[in-house]
Amino acid sequence: MPDGLKVSAVMKNSIAAEMEIEPGDEILQVDQHNIQDILDLQYWTAEEEFTLIIQKNNKEIWELEIVKEPEELLGIEVSSVGRDGLMKCRNNCVFCFVRQMPTGMRASLYDLDDDYRMSVNQGSYITLSNLADKDFQRIIDMHLSPLYISVHAWNPAVREKLMRNRQAGKLAEQINRLAEAGLVLHTQIVLVPGYNDREVLQETVENLAAFFPQVQSIGIVPVGLTKYRDRLPELRIVTPEAAREVLEHGIEWQKKYRKRTGQNLVYFSDEFYMLASRDFPPHPEYDDFPQLENGIGMARKFQDEIQMCIGDLPERIQERKIHIVTGVSAAAYFRSRIAELPAVQGLHITVHEIANTFFGTTVTVAGLLTAQDIAAQLGDLQGEYFLLSRVMLRAGEEVFLDGYDVRWLTKQVNGIAVVVENDGQSFIEGLLGITIGGLESE
């Protein structure tokens, strides 16, 4: 019997917990089907009744008869997406952020993956250029949807030039194959000036839009460039002028597609609006926020959530000085949000605009700030509070990209850290030190 998937966690009060499945156990088979990856596990355990074969830590083989409700989950997490690990990316994209990382960081940051299983499970973007025909067929047979596709350019020659992979030029037939199978696709374009802007961008948008309703969203984000580009092609950042030009065309596309499809279909990352010094579109313009995790609509959603909290703010709180830590691109945005808040006696707020010297000053987003840059620029807080957004930290941990954690930063700046989730209510509660209902949150 082949190796299976190793269990990394078991949910309390779940079926798995009742059946005494434990971390370290291996899932080998479901109804005599070998389990090679997370998709096999999800697919074969979707039934209401099935037989599960596991190998315990002590090498005992257990056969478990499972009976569950139609929507009930088994209640386990596994340590890897598949027995063979992540599918590796064989592209050599001119704008690849991983290839712009400094040496000496944790190994996982250098992983180059292009795994369709992660796309359907976690919404990560894949290029399709690393898939074999059997992978496409499996995606279709299992109806894996929605998928998140990195497009970048419709023109085959431009896409091959951007991704430096001859397989990249097959995009049109690949999108058509997935669309004909009835799969839902969310697509993104990383805009690289001089490569896929202007006429190339318009062609890409128009061809993707022709696949609606299978293509449900087209997200456009600006290229991110660090100072670590030795032996890499010379690229240009998206300037404020370029951002304004893109948005001018984009608004016309949105009007056209809303008439045709009932939704904007084309969406721009928050960074475009910040670069262009334009207000974010109103909430309805983002439809159902299909690419929120791609930085598209986060600022609008955050702003609306803050507005919903304003009526619950107290008139006064215990004296509290708090420092908001953010990147260059979002500093003006946060100052505007603070200015809109009603006065709360006892609350004193300072916004700190942290320049990214670690990756280079062309990187301006808060999510790529490091503990070292924050410590160097925040100074001695003399025991006062400082607020960090969860977006700066590794998922599930309190560790920054440079490997230093929140505890280290707290000591360096002589302050008290307040880590908040990426939503407006958590932000307001972090500022006040209380829940909106008035209960102490610290």
Are 135 and 244 found together in one domain? Answer: yes
Q: Is the dihedral of CA 246, 194, 129, 228 positive or negative?
A: negative
Residue 132's pLDDT is what? 95
Q: In whole angstroms, what separates CA 221 from the centre of its chain?
A: 13
Encoding tokens for residue 384? 């006062």
Round to whole Å and give the CA distance between 62 and 55. Answer: 6
Closest CA to 292 of 197, 388, 391: 391
- Of 44, 78, 112, which closes a domain? 78
User: Does residue 257 lie in a domain region?
Assistant: yes
- Of 268, 296, 324, which closes a domain? 296
Burial class of residue 127, CB neighbours in 10 A (0-12, 13-18, 19+): buried
pLDDT tens string 326-341: 999 999 999 999 999 9
User: What backbone torsions phi and psi does residue 149 show, to the nearest 5 degrees?
Assistant: -115, 130
User: Does residue 437 lie in a domain region?
Assistant: no
Are 139 and 271 found together in one domain? Answer: yes
CATH number at residue 199: 3.80.30.10
CATH number at residue 52: 2.30.42.10
Could you tell me if 377 and 393 are in contact, meaning their C-beta atoms sit under 8 angstroms apart?
A: no
User: Does residue 407 lie in a domain region?
Assistant: yes
Could you tell me if 301 and 329 are in contact, meaning their C-beta atoms sit under 8 angstroms apart?
A: no
Round to whole Å and give the CA distance between 284 and 306. Answer: 17
Round to whole Å and give the CA distance between 155 and 14. Answer: 49
Closest CA to 135 of 126, 27, 354, 244: 126
Q: Check whether the bond before 314 is cis (ω within 30° of 0).
A: no
Grade residue 11 by pLDDT with cuts at 50, 70 and 90: very high
Are 71 and 154 found together in one domain? Answer: no
- Of 236, 266, 296, which closes a domain? 296
Helix 371-378 × helix 406-413 angle, to 10°: 20
User: Does residue 74 lie in a domain region?
Assistant: yes
Closest CA to 370 of 384, 359, 361: 359
- What is the number of domains present in the chain? 3
Closest CA to 116 of 148, 157, 68, 161: 148
Round to whole Å and give the CA distance between 35 and 39. Answer: 9
Are 336 and 273 found together in one domain? Answer: no
Residue 242's pLDDT is what? 98
Are 225 and 281 found together in one domain? Answer: yes
3-state secondary structure the chain: CCCCEEEEEECCCCHHHHCCCCCCCEEEEECCEECCEHHHHHHHCCCCEEEEEEECCCCCEEEEEEECCCCCCCCEEECCCECCCCCECCCCCCCCCHHHCCCCCCHHHHCCECCHHHHHHHCCCECCCCCCHHHHHHHHHCCCCCEEEECCCCCHHHHHHHHCCHHHHHHHHHHHHHHHCCCCEEEEEEECCCCCCHHHHHHHHHHHHCCCCCEEEEEEEECCCCCCCCCCCCCCCCCHHHHHHHHHHHHHHHHHHHHHHCCCCEEECHHHHHHHCCCCCCHHHHCCCCCHHHCCCHHHHHHHHHHHHHHHCCCEEEEEEEEEEEEHHHHHHHHHHHHHCCCCEEEEEEEEEECCCCCCCCCCCHHHCCHHHHHHHHCCCCCCEEEEEHHHCCCCCCECCCCCEHHHHHHHHCCEEEEECCCHHHHHHHHHCECCCCCECC
Are 24 and 145 found together in one domain? Answer: no
Round to whole Å and give the CA distance between 283 and 301. Answer: 7
Residue 441's pLDDT is what? 42
Burial class of residue 338, CB neighbours in 10 A (0-12, 13-18, 19+): middle
Are 232 and 375 found together in one domain? Answer: no
pLDDT tens string 247-299: 999 999 999 999 999 999 999 999 999 999 999 999 999 999 999 999 999 99
User: Does residue 278 lie in a domain region?
Assistant: yes
Residue 438's pLDDT is what? 41
User: Does residue 87 lie in a domain region?
Assistant: no
Q: In whole angstroms, what separates CA 331 from the centre of its chain?
A: 21
Are 238 and 134 found together in one domain? Answer: yes
Are 330 and 277 found together in one domain? Answer: no
Tell me the longest C-alpha to C-alpha distance in the chain.
68
More confident residue, 409 or 112: 409
pLDDT tens string 402-419: 999 999 999 999 999 999
Residue 436's pLDDT is what? 75
Q: Match 């250029």 to its residue by tokens.
A: 129
For the chain, the distance separating the N- and C-terminal CA atoms, rounded to the nearest angstrom, is 51
Q: In whole angstroms, what separates CA 252 from the centre of its chain?
A: 27
pLDDT tens string 201-246: 999 999 999 999 999 999 999 999 999 998 899 999 999 999 999 9
| Domain enclosing residue 139, as ranges | 98-296
pLDDT tens string 145-170: 999 999 999 999 999 999 999 999 99
Are 253 and 358 found together in one domain? Answer: no
pLDDT tens string 15-62: 999 999 999 999 999 999 999 999 999 999 999 999 999 999 999 999
Q: Match 């074999």 to its residue by tokens.
A: 132
User: Does residue 196 lie in a domain region?
Assistant: yes
User: Does residue 289 lie in a domain region?
Assistant: yes
Are 142 and 36 found together in one domain? Answer: no
Are 316 and 278 found together in one domain? Answer: no
Type of residue found at 438: G
